[in-house]
Amino acid sequence: MDVLQTVVNYILNDLGAAVFVPALMLIIGLCMKMKFSEAFTSALTLGIAFTGMSILIDYMMGSMGDAAASLAKSTGVNLPAVDGGWPGMAAISWAWPYAFLMFPLTIGVNIVLLILNRTKTLNVDMWNVWNKIFTAVMVSYITGSTLWGFVAASIQIILELKAGDIWGPEVERLTGIPGVTVPHFITLICTLLFPIDELLKKIPFFNRPMDADALKEKIGIFGENSVMGGIIGLLLGLASGYGIAGSLQLAVQAATALTLFPMVSKLFSQALSPISEAISDFMKKRFEGKEVFIGLDWPILAGRNELWVAVIITIPVLLVLAIVLPGNIVLPFAGIINLSFVVGALLMTNANLGRMIFHGVISAPFFLYGATYFAQYVTRLANETGAANVPEGKLLSWSTFEGPDIRYLFATGFSGNILSVILLIIWLGLFYWMYTSKKKYNQSLENE
C-alpha cells in the first residue's frame, strides 16, 4: 500500500498531466505497433497541446475570473459560504486516507468492462480520479460508511465510462479528432438536462444551427471569434467597474483567448490522430469489429468557442440567482466560471449556443443549492483533514459544484432516505434514456 501511495504521489506531484498522459500515450502507441519515432512525436505534441491549453485556460480563467469576482464584490451581498472552487475540493479529496485506493479501483473497473464488452472507453484521464475520491469522501462522511463511499464511486466510474461511449462520436464531430472521448464527471449533468433539451429541439428557434460557424454566416463580423471575445470582455469589464481603460484591456484579453483556443486545439488532433489510427488498426486485426475510444480530459474541447461564450454569458445569471434564491448561502467567486454545465451542454447540443445558454440558466439553481447543502460537510472535512483552515463562522464550498444532483442522491439515498432512493432510481432511468437515445442517434449517423 505504501509503495502504491508513493507512486501515485510521484505521478500527481512531480510529473503532472503534461508529462504523464503523453508518456502513457507513448506506451499505448508502442503497444499498438507504432514506430518509436511516430509514437514519440505524437506523445510530445500531445504534451505541448496540454501545456498550451493549460496556459490558455489559466489565462482565460484569470482575466475573466477576476472580472467576474469584481462583479460579485460590487453586489455588496454578504453570504457566509466561501467559494473555494474545484482546487479546494481536490485538496480535501487527496487528504482522505483511502484516496490512493481509487486508482486501482478506477483502472480495475475499466479493464473488466472492456473485457466484458460493456464499454468502448479506455479512460487514461487519471487526474480526474479526484472526482471519484470526492464522491467517496462525501458519501462516506454523510452516511458514516466507507463501504458506501466506494460503492458510490464505483457507480460513478461506470456511468462515466458509459457516457464516454456516447460522447465519442460527438467529440470527433466537434474537434475532428477520431477515436477519443471525454468520460468526465461534469458531463453527467446532461442526465437532468436531456429531457429539457429534447423539448427545446421541438422549438424552431432552438433547433436551427447556432454554432460559431452558423453565427459567422448570419451576423458577419460579429460572429468572428476575436470580435465575440472583444465584445463580451468589454461588457463584462464595464459591468465589473473596470472603467474604459480596464474594460478595453479585458476586451483584448478575451479576444486573444478566443482566437488562440482553436489554434492550440489543432495540436490535439495532430497528436492523437496517428495514435487513434494505430489503435483502430490493432483492434481490427485482433478483435474484429472492436472499437475503442481513448478517454481524455475535457480541455480537448476547449477549442470550441461556443463553450467560452456560453459560460461567460451565464456569469451574471449565476450571480443574480445567488442573491435572489431563498436559502442559498454561497456567493460565486472561485468557481464563478461555470464549467460544470457547459462541457456537457456543448456535447449534448452539438454546440448549439442558444440551447447551451438556456441550459446554463436553468441548471444554475442545482449548482447553488448543491453547494449550499454540502457546505457544512466540506467545511468540517477541510478542518479535520487540515486541507484548509476555515475560520469560525465561515463555511467552505464550491458555487458550481460538479454533479450536485447525483452526489446529493448518493449521499442521502445511501443514508436511508427513501425519497432519495426513489429519485436515484429515476435519475438512473433518465441516464439510460439519454444513453440509448444518443446511441441510436450515433448509429443513424454512421448508416447515412
Q: What is the pLDDT of residue 284?
A: 58
Alpha carbons 369 and 81: distance in angstroms, whole number? 12
What lies within 8 Å, CB to CB, of 3 at 6+ separation is none
Nearest residue to 338 (alpha-carbon basis) of 369, 361, 304? 361
| Residue range 136-152: mean pLDDT, rounded | 94
Q: Are 66 and 314 in contact (CB under 8 A)?
A: no
Q: Is pLDDT above 70 for 95?
A: yes
Q: What is the pLDDT of residue 25?
A: 76
Q: Is pLDDT above 90 for 343?
A: yes
Q: Is pLDDT above 60 for 8?
A: no
| Residue range 311-332: mean pLDDT, rounded | 86
Alpha carbons 308 and 262: distance in angstroms, whole number? 12
267 or 220, which is more confident: 267
Q: What is the pLDDT of residue 387?
A: 62
Q: Is pLDDT above 80 for 56?
A: no
Each as own residue / partner, the long-range contacts of residues 137-142 (CB below 8 Å, 24 or more positions apart, any chain) are: 137/92, 137/93, 137/96, 137/381, 138/374, 138/377, 138/407, 138/410, 138/411, 139/407, 139/410, 139/411, 139/414, 141/377, 141/380, 141/381, 142/377, 142/411, 142/412, 142/415
| Residue range 355-370: mean pLDDT, rounded | 95
Cα 100 to its chain centre, rounded Å, is 22
Average per-residue pLDDT for the chain: 83
Q: What is the pLDDT of residue 51?
A: 83
Q: What is the pLDDT of residue 7?
A: 59
Q: Are 278 and 33 in contact (CB under 8 A)?
A: yes
222 or 299, which is more confident: 299
pLDDT in tens, 256-310: 877 777 777 678 778 777 877 777 677 656 656 677 898 988 888 988 888 888 8
Q: What is the pLDDT of residue 17?
A: 61
CA distances from 337 to 69, 72, 210, 231, 361 (A): 10, 12, 22, 17, 13
Per-residue cell: 441: 442517434
Q: What is the pLDDT of residue 394?
A: 77
394 or 219, which is more confident: 394
What lies within 8 Å, CB to CB, of 416 at 6+ separation is none
Q: Is pLDDT above 80 for 358?
A: yes
What lies within 8 Å, CB to CB, of 99 at 6+ separation is 93, 130, 133
Q: What is the pLDDT of residue 383?
A: 79
pLDDT confidence of 418, banded at 50, 70, 90? very high
Look-up: residue for cell 507504432? 34
Strand partners, 181: 295
Q: Residue 333: count other Cβ atoms within 10 Å of its Cβ.
A: 20
Q: Is pLDDT above 90 for 83?
A: no
Alpha carbons 314 and 358: distance in angstroms, whole number? 9
Strand partners, 122: 294
Alpha carbons 24 and 27: distance in angstroms, whole number? 5
Q: Is pLDDT above 70 for 448?
A: no
pLDDT in tens, 187-197: 999 999 999 99
pLDDT in tens, 171-187: 999 988 888 899 999 99
Alpha carbons 370 and 375: distance in angstroms, whole number? 8
Q: Is pLDDT above 80 for 376?
A: yes
| Residue range 383-412: mean pLDDT, rounded | 83
| Residue range 376-393: mean pLDDT, rounded | 76
Q: Is pLDDT above 70 for 219?
A: no
Percent of the chain clearing pLDDT 70 (strictly above): 84
pLDDT confidence of 421, banded at 50, 70, 90? very high
Q: What is the pLDDT of residue 9?
A: 58
Q: Is pLDDT above 80 for 426?
A: yes
Q: What is the pLDDT of residue 370?
A: 94
Q: Is 155 exposed, middle or buried (0-12, 13-18, 19+ CB in 10 A)?
A: middle
| Residue range 93-109: mean pLDDT, rounded | 84
